[in-house]
Amino acid sequence: MGRPPVVRAATGMSHFGEHAMGWLAIGAAGALLDRRRRREWVAATAGVALAHGASVGVKRVVRRPRPDHERVRVLVGTPSKLSFPSAHATSTAAAAVLLGPLLGRPGRLVTAAVAPMALSRMVLGVHYPTDVLAGTALGAAVGLFTRRLSAREGRR
């Protein structure tokens, strides 16, 4: 018997968000295709990468192990055994702040992806609720910081 649709969707989101690669690919495509706003696309994509890196750094400091309980089934592989914060939630929140506005109307889909991405990490058994909440907050904070820094540089 196949996996339930929610697990299949969560698995797809997991693959898209691994190492922020899906968001980085969208940012790179924007930089290549939208010459007029290339600088903004590059800055936004760099911000998503920075958010992902910040998440990995916090994971290595906090060292919280992933859920390990007989009632929790882990349904996807992970690159590390560390849980806090969720790098998927971090990069997705940063993408919503940074890439969403550049995409215009389709940017609403990026913003709408934050909650499902966060929930998908719990559905797959690899994060606690506090992991995804902290990741979302970290990603939004890095995204806002990047946007302010980029705007300041753009005025120079």
Domains of the chain, start order: 5-155 (1.10.606.20)
Instruction: Read off φ and ψ for residue 152, nearest 5 degrees.
Output: -65, -45
What residues contact 121, with CB distance under 8 A and at least 6 apart? Answer: 10, 14, 86, 88, 89, 127, 131, 132
Q: Identify the pLDDT of residue 137.
A: 97
Cα distances (angstroms) measured from residue 141 to each of 29, 32, 53, 96: 24, 26, 13, 11
- Predicted pLDDT of residue 75: 75
Question: What pLDDT does 107 receive?
Answer: 74
Cα dist. 74→71, 104, 149 in Å? Answer: 10, 36, 39
Written as tens digits, the pLDDT of the chain (156 aa) is: 578 888 889 999 999 999 999 999 999 999 999 999 999 999 999 999 999 999 999 999 999 999 988 887 877 888 889 999 999 999 999 999 999 999 987 778 788 889 999 999 999 989 999 999 999 999 999 999 999 998 877 666
pTM for the model stands at 0.91
**What's the pLDDT score for residue 109?**
79
- Note the pLDDT of residue 28: 97
